[in-house]
Amino acid sequence: MADTRDEPLVLGIETSCDETGVGVVRGTTLLADAVASSVDEHARFGGVVPEVASRAHLEAMVPTIQRALKDAGVSAKDLDGIAVTAGPGLAGALLVGVSAAKAYAYALGKPLYGVNHLASHICVDQLEHGALPEPTMALLVSGGHSSLLLSTDITSDVRPLGATIDDAAGEAFDKIARVLNLGFPGGPVIDRYAREGDPDAIAFPRGLTGPRDPAYDFSFSGLKTSVARWIEAKRAAGEEVPVRDVAASFQEAVVDVLTRKAVRACKDEGVDHLMIGGGVAANTRLRAMAQERCERAGIRLRVPRPKLCTDNGAMVAALGAEMVARNRAASDLGLSADSSLPVTEPHVPGAHAHSHDHDHVHEVSKDNLYS
């Protein structure tokens, strides 16, 4: 086994939504992936409540960091850097993670790297399948994002080819699950019901797939409305809704569009690798259809295991380690959370921050941060 001790040891913090994720990575080797989820606290509201998420991150932060360091068998003082999601995401939730990362970096005297959530979702695949090919085509699908991205250098060059113009794929799953009274979050439960249903039972529309439509953009709002109206019509007529067939037919419509456009983008750009990430990448039908279509097109498919597809600290640490390895500029302590950070900025170097913000950093007790 290769000696990895000279590779960068980085702790990553992810708080863009409702998961407090802390990962520890050495180079491209995952040492720890600790997660504290607040999903149960949001379930009764049928969706993520930003204030609830922020408070949950605040409570979970220090214990989750301590757990990750313990699981990794490393000391905080041995770290080569602290990476944190600077955006995009929920502003309040991001702020908790960024504030914690700045405090740890300051107290430990370690470089700070504010990184992009979407670029992190791409980079996490290195922990499972080794270094990313350059270029790599990435299809990112989650509750907040549906994007086709082309990366020639994950630390500095990520180009958006297409994105959702309305609902993200994961958001559509949540909404249809709610209409079917299946609970929240919708992705896993729709996937489960769909396995026992007929994907060809109902011909739901495929958004933005006409000859005049944008080649790489996505739209799931019309599909969501079509499914909801079909269900309402059945109920109004006093008929039983075939939940499994609805789930399977809806899921097939989403997955068909996602994989069709991703494979088309690979062909058009001459890229022979497709990476799929984000929470919806855990969907079993998406994985199966992507594999089938990629094999037919001569494209190599890379999909991380489901736990690494959902939001986690490992992906942030992975991108942070890559920043260190490639000598990218660290962020300074004026780093801000940016809820709309564009994917074209894989990280936020110090030049983007204001040096006078250092004046506002207060002394932090190291005893409270790490043991």
Query: Binding residue per annotation — 217?
Result: no
d(CA 341, CA 348): 9
Q: Is 140 annotated as a binding residue?
A: yes
**Residue 191 in marked binding region:** yes
Cβ–Cβ under 8 Å, residues 31 and 24: yes
CA neighbor of 265 nearest in space, from 120, 146, 125, 118: 146
Confirm or deny that 145 is annotated as ligand binding: no
Check the annotation: does 369 bind a ligand.
no
CA atoms within 13 Å, Cβ hemisphere of 174? 19
Beta bridge pairs of residue 274? 137, 301
All residues at 6 or more sequence positions from 88 whose CB lies less than 8 Å from its CB, including other chains = 16, 116, 117, 118, 144, 145, 338, 339, 340, 341
End-to-end distance of the chain based on CA atoms, in angstroms? 30
Residue 369 to residue 104: CA distance in whole angstroms:
7
Question: Binding site annotation covers 127?
Answer: no
194 touches 180 (CB < 8 A): no
Within 8 A by CB and 6+ apart from 293, the residues are 259, 260, 263
Structure-token match 């180079």, residue found: 27
CA distances from 203 to 159, 206, 227, 255 (A): 34, 9, 10, 14
187 annotated among ligand-binding-site residues: yes
The answer to whether the annotation marks 114 as part of a ligand binding site is no
How far apart are the C-alpha atoms of 244 and 202, rounded to whole Å?
Answer: 11
Is residue 356 a known part of a binding site? no
- For residue 239, the 8-state DSSP code is P
143 carries a ligand binding annotation: yes
Q: Which residues are annotated as a binding site for substrate?
A: 140-144, 174, 187, 191, 283
Residues marked as binding?
117, 121, 140-144, 174, 187, 191, 283, 311
**Residues within the annotated binding site for Fe cation?**
117, 121, 311
